[in-house]
Amino acid sequence: MPEIVIDRDAVRAALDTFADPETGRSIVQMEQLKDLVIANGRIQVTLGLTSWTGPIAQQTRAAVVEILRTQFPHAAEVEVDIVDHLRPAEKIGEIGLAAKSVIAVGSGKGGVGKSTIAASLAYSLAAGGAKVGLLDADVYGPSIPHLLGVNERPQAVNNRLQPIVKDDLRVMSMGFLVPAGEAVVWRGPMLHGAITQFLRDTDWGELDYLIIDMPPGTGDIALTLSQLLPLSGAVVVCTPQDVALLDAVKAIAMFGKVSIPILGVVENMSYFICPDTGKRYDIFGSGGARRKAAELEVPFLGELPINIGIRQRGDAGETEGNLHDEEVAKYLELICQHLVQNLAAARKSQSPLPGLSVL
């Protein structure tokens, strides 16, 4: 049997065409090709990926394998191993926050499960290996402490608030600072000051993702955030019925006015599967958010059906358990993957062309 010959430079050139999901630049250029072994017709690649890429690491690995199998169909075997690649988060904006992606989760109205989606999304990203912070910016009705089952009060160290750490999430909320049942009655400037302090004076450390649970509606906190730091984009949560979609459209328009790109729409409470009969009921209609996203030409991230377990775990402060419920986790995982893939696609489209060397 003739020996299979594979040119090393050709393999390296093929890998040079693959973009690192985080930066949008070549994995070779970014020194993420840690090792390349070609022997006996086999191609073995060791690829370094950052924790930011964790939620889509396996999809990234599969994409690299596909490139090599396509370019070198005669290879006896293609193997791609993933190892950690360290890349510190740079400080962004004027407040000194070190985060690679800042994502606002908003809705046009209350009661659509926005905070549950924000918390579940943060948990999903962390489960993929990313370093995640969760900021509850819903000053008037902070839900995150209850959803996570946390009632601690943040401590200050060297004039820096220490976020509450729960299940590997770094969390900050007005709910930690205001007694339960006490109303917050603030005007715009006080809201601006509170959000600024949460971002600037909290010791977040280095984050891959900061998820911000926004107040419902189209208030001025979105404007505050757009002035404080560059947001990667916003996720809009809505339910399928027309009255909710009308408000979701307003939320999308609000983010557009403050130059915050829309990363995608999530349809919550899409339908209900009766556990006794298995019959599906479209209580609020179904598919409305998907259709509206297509109409507005914004991405659709996925849907989440009505599930009794989600409500029970939220009431019990055990939202992390959504990731261990097979009937729920598959939807959350897909939403998370679509979100990170959309971020990666945006970075690839914005990545500058490689510079030309001057001889």
State the residue for tokens 């598959």.
330
Q: pTM of the entire structure?
A: 0.92
Q: From the CB of residue 51, how many other CB atoms can be counted at a distance below 10 Å?
A: 25
Tell me, yes or no, whether 149 and 297 share the same domain. yes
Please give the distance of CA 226 from its chain centroid, rounded to a whole number: 18
Nearest-angstrom CA–CA distance, 98 and 95: 9
pLDDT value of position 182? 62
User: For the chain, which residues score pLDDT lower than 50?
Assistant: 353-359
Q: Nearest to residue 238, comparing CAs of 140, 322, 113, 121?
A: 113
Tell me, yes or no, whether 179 and 309 share the same domain. yes
Tell me, yes or no, whether 99 and 164 share the same domain. yes
pLDDT value of position 71? 95
Tell me, yes or no, whether 304 and 323 share the same domain. yes
Q: Is 196 helix (H, G, I), strand (E, B) or coil?
A: helix
Tell me, yes or no, whether 181 and 307 share the same domain. yes
Please give the distance of CA 278 from its chain centroid, rounded to a whole number: 31
Q: Of 50, 84, 118, which residue sits at a domain end?
A: 84
pLDDT value of position 186? 60
Alpha helices (runs of H) in 83-220, residue ranges in sequence order: 114-127, 144-148, 188-200
Tell me, yes or no, whether 118 and 60 share the same domain. no
pLDDT value of position 357? 35
Return the CATH number at 67: 3.30.300.130
What the block records as the tokens of 61 is 């690995």
User: Residue 62 is part of which domain span?
Assistant: 8-84
pLDDT value of position 353? 44
pLDDT value of position 297? 93
Amino acid identity of residue 98, one-letter, is: A
**Per-residue pLDDT tens for 86-126?**
999 999 987 889 999 999 999 887 888 999 999 999 999 99
